[in-house]
Amino acid sequence: MIFDLGMIKKVYQRYPERIKVAREICNKPLTLSEKILYTHLWDGKAKTEYGRGKNYVDFAPDRVAMQDATAQMALLQFMQAGKSTAAVPSTVHADHLIQARMGADKDLQESLNKNNEVFNFLSSVSNKYGIGFWKPGAGIIHQVVLENYAFPGGMMIGTDSHTVNAGGLGMVAIGVGGADAVDVMAGMPWELKFPKLIGIKLTGTLSGWTSPKDVILKVAGILTVKGGTGCIVEYFGEGAKSISCTGKGTICNMGAEIGATTSTFGYDDSMRRYLSATGRADVVALADEVAEHLTGDDEVYANPEQYFDQVIEINLSELAPHVNGPFTPDLATPVSEMAVAAASNDWPTKVEWGLIGSCTNSSYEDLSRAASIAKQAVEKGLKTKAEFGINPGSEQVRFTVARDGILDAFEQLDATIFTNACGPCIGQWARAGAEKEEKNTIVHSFNRNFSKRADGNPNTHAFVTSPEMVAAIAISGNLGFNPITDTLVNEAGEEVKLDPPTGWELPEKGFAVEDNGYQAPSTNGSGIEVLVKENSERLQLLIPFAEWDGGNLTGVRLLIKAHGKCTTDHISMAGPWLRYRGHLDNISNNCLIGAVNAFGGATKFC
């Protein structure tokens, strides 16, 4: 679908003049990241050059996206702003409150039964304030944004770490807290320290078992979970142009795992193809008019060391498939070395589950490539040794892959098709036996694999890899399996070898969907009642703070100093706590309990 075309047109109309002014003030060629930042200044045209990693700058994002967990508190706050409608195009996506357990239909109904109060609130408050609402089952926020809202050269913020996924369509898209989203929806500027820039030059082309996921798994191994902090990562080069749009999205998505502010790619033919395939040919026409401004200047990419704070070069033709983990997404191991690494580190090599999906890898291309491996297994007489779970990224993707026989390939291996939602990726997984806390291994195509992340079991060793590698390893049941060189024994006792994956960047018959799950807001919400039950344990209307009395707080005690990793998972973990995201008193009991307190070295400091 196409939304907000008028807004996109206005953004592109200001591009030439604002970039011209920025280039003159900076007195140098500009990266794509700088072009987007300087065209989205709150005060309009640039008046000064901003120091990377030094100056705090006010920006004017084009849109806001919120998922159902974080949207609750954000919208409760927005209700206090005294506005009749959101100042910028905004959406809410119901994807976090659906627990994976039995399969799509039953899990969706169970979620509706348990969370109907919250969904009714989000539906009604969105309807009242001019906010688009994507119903439960419509899909994962970042896949839906890529399919419907992202556009080259735009700037958006979202109340989820992986908002950065929209960089796959050439945006500067940044994950923020709910208060930041409220500011922008209320028509206020959004402040960000002007980022440093990391340039990653991609040469060569991907082939065989190597996928876009392996690019970011390799980058994570280089930069670690902290190496991108305070930086925008900009990918460029002929190798970048050879990667599909959804593949670019995968790479940008996991940029959150290196701490990057966001990641992005320049506008190219893969984006044109994806925009056209998703019903946005009008966006292509507008973008083509300013195409020179939607990528970095030629001089930047010819001499990147002069214009980026750090430059990394990766030859895609030489890149090996990787499996990262356990317990951290930056422990990068080429698949050819995993058997030795597992033995030396005493990692369990028997794979219990293979999970494909999440906002990182749930596109048509991802599922078609993984399905090509599943289909081979059936044709060659193999049975999967591990359990299989699939989360399609959106109802549009699910409907299309079902039509094209792709889901059938997984079902022939007895895979469980979960709802179009986050599910196991965020801990929304009622995994049988997890409460026993047994040492075990799972492989998945998600983004994060911290302790307890998927199933709540601290002894689950979770490894991150591409969807096609998840399929191969799950079929083998062996973490050390290398499909490039190793063989498997089928039901007839024959040795067989899996061929490299094949798939389609986009569906040959086009995308299709009967009901995409979108609820358009009312054109006049003044008479709409926002639904919140009295004495609810899930939702709590906010009461404005009393006016400041002019005095300062003194004698305040420091309760915790976080030691080591402190991601959004550690600050306010998901899983069972998601139910309280709209209740300030109850969710406060979860604050920082996952972080290690420097005073004593334990978690659950309270």
Q: What is the pLDDT of residues 142-181, one digit of tens each?
A: 999 999 999 999 999 999 999 999 999 999 999 999 999 9
Long-range contacts of 494-497 (CB under 8 A, 24+ apart): 494/381, 496/380, 496/381, 496/382
Q: What is the pLDDT of residues 117-132, one digit of tens each?
A: 999 999 999 999 999 9
DSSP track, 314-343: EETTTPPPEEE-SSSTT-EEEGGGHHHHHH
The reply to whether 5-315 and 322-496 are identical in fold is yes
At residue 55 the predicted structure's pLDDT band, cuts being 50, 70 and 90, is: very high
Question: How many beta carbons lie within 10 A of that of residue 575, not counting itself?
Answer: 18
CA distance 513 to 402: 10
The closest alpha carbon to 358, from 337, 384, 389, belongs to 389
CA distance 467 to 445: 5
Residue linked to tokens 């030396």: 344
Residue 356 has pLDDT above 90, yes or no: yes
- Angle value at C-alpha 35, between 156 and 506, nearest 5 degrees: 60
Where exactly are the structural domains of the chain? Answer: 5-315, 322-496, 554-606
- pLDDT value, residue 272: 98
- As a whole-number percent, the residues of the chain with pLDDT over 70 amount to 100
3-state SS assignment for residue 503: coil
- pLDDT value, residue 113: 96
At residue 606 the predicted structure's pLDDT band, cuts being 50, 70 and 90, is: low
Residue 307 has pLDDT above 80, yes or no: yes
Residue 89 has pLDDT above 90, yes or no: yes
In terms of DSSP bridges, do strands 440-444 and 460-464 run parallel, antiparallel, or are they unpaired?
Answer: parallel
> Domain 5-315, what fold?
Aconitase; domain 3 (3.30.499)
Q: What is the pLDDT of residues 182-239, one digit of tens each?
A: 999 999 999 999 999 999 999 999 999 999 999 999 999 999 999 999 999 999 999 9
Token reading at 101: 């357990």
Q: Within its chain, how far is the Cα of 349 from the centroid?
A: 28
CATH superfamily of 322-496: Aconitase, domain 3 (3.30.499.10)
Instruction: Provide the whole-model pTM.
Output: 0.94
- pLDDT value, residue 546: 87
CA distance 438 to 74: 38
CA distance 279 to 268: 17
The closest alpha carbon to 168, from 147, 146, 153, 148, belongs to 146
